[in-house]
Amino acid sequence: MSRNIRVAEPSPELQRKIIRARQAIAEQEPRVIKCPYCRHNSIVVFGDTKGHVQAKCKICGRETVFNVLEMRRMRRLQTYYSVFTEIE
């Protein structure tokens, strides 16, 4: 079951871009977005991530499009409502 996969080092220019990207997120806290179907960790996003991201879950195999900003707001609302329901 051997596959002929060719692995090559990225170009020096691409390596510099990768290093700059890692430095840019060094101070940011990562946030995990879970698959809505199986609740497995689907993707990791950072505070400066905006817009839509498409990801395929490694467990259930379903593809989902996430609006990163909405997911952040949903998380806050879920926390609010869980606290609110505990008070009643």
79: left (phi over 0), alpha (psi -120 to 50) or beta: alpha
* Cβ proximity of 60 and 54 under 8 Å: no
Confidence (pLDDT) at 78: 52
Q: Does pLDDT of 15 surpass 90?
A: yes
If one compares 13 and 33, the residue with the highest pLDDT of the two is: 13
* Average pLDDT of the segment spanning 67-84: 59
Q: Does pLDDT of 86 surpass 50?
A: no
Nearest to 67 by CA among 82, 80, 50: 50
Distances (CA, A) of 61 to 35, 38, 41: 10, 10, 13
Note the pTM of the prediction, 2 decimals. Answer: 0.61
Q: Please state the separation of Cα 82 from the chain's center in Å.
A: 23
> What does the mean pLDDT of the chain come to?
81
For residue 21 the two structure tokens come to 């990207």
Name the residue ranges covered by the structural domains of the chain.
29-87
